[in-house]
Amino acid sequence: MVIGIYDSGVGGLSVWRELRRYTNARLLYFGDTCHVPYGEKSPEQLETYFWEIVGFFQTQGCQSVVVACNTSSALVLPRVRDRVGIPVFGIIESAVQAAVAVSGGRVGVLATRGTAESGVYQTMFRTIYPQGQVFVQSAPRLVPLIEAGQITAQVTRDALKEYLAPLVGRGVDTLVLGCTHYPFLQELLVDLLGPDVRIVDPAPSLALHVTEELPLEPAEMGPRGAGTGFWVSGDPTTFQETAERLLQEKLPTVQCHPMAGERA
């Protein structure tokens, strides 16, 4: 089996690194870097990107797609799920279930503007965890900073501190990382929040869900994967340099597949 994974940029790599722990299936990663950040795009734009990326995946032999992006999971999947001919996995439900497993009842969600304004987390928590309280905070400056590799810069720390303040003020005991870019800020988050707030990265939960749901062959069930092909819609060199810095490992040569749709 070949599994496609996509995001607006490097953020979905936090899902990719978890997924390869569970499967030997061939993986294909696509970063739509000419349209990053997705959090500022309309649902219509995001749906256009979705269909083009899924079409590309299918030309590469992908038999399922992981939408490693909270914004697309929130705004696109409800519009397209019944029209896609292959299994497609989003991240929202996995994030909520992972949070419910550890929360004491007061959950904060740090997210992009698109995800925050969609109300998807509030709705999902009311469905799965009605006795809890959820507070969602938009953090629009974080994705561009992470895409620039500034995960330890003072400007990133200051932005993160600003966005966390309202959630801390609400007394949250759990923080959901509602964007796949945010796990790359783990060290800053721990430093700013301290030991009393549980930080939930949804990527492990999503990766496990994908491998449990797909009809993988026995030979595809081991760790580390059969390898990954990496593609982007923008500059492959910049993506590769940033990705290797964030992951602390070398990647195969990243290739470019230009998007036919509108540019950012």
As annotated, the active-site residues are 69, 179
The full DSSP string for 171-210 is T-SEEEEESTTGGGGHHHHHHHH-TTSEEE-SHHHHHHHH
Largest CA distance in the chain: 49
**Assigned token pair, 175:** 């923080």
DSSP classification of residue 38? G
Order of strands, sheet of 88-89, starting from the edge strand that comes earlier in the sequence? 88-89, 64-67, 2-7, 26-31, 228-232, 255-256
Q: Using CA atoms, how far apart are residues 180 and 49, in angstroms rounded to an integer? A: 18
Residue 75 to residue 121: CA distance in whole angstroms: 12
User: What's the rounded Cα separation, in Å, for the pair 62 and 214?
Assistant: 12
Give the 3-state secondary structure of 78-127: HHHHHHCCCCEECCHHHHHHHHHCCCCCEEEEEECHHHHHHCHHHHHHHH
Single-letter amino acid, residue 169:
G
Q: Starting from the edge strand earliest in sequence, which strands make up the sheet with 174-178, in order?
A: 133-138, 106-111, 174-178, 198-200
- Which is nearest to 19 in space by CA: 187, 242, 181, 222? 222
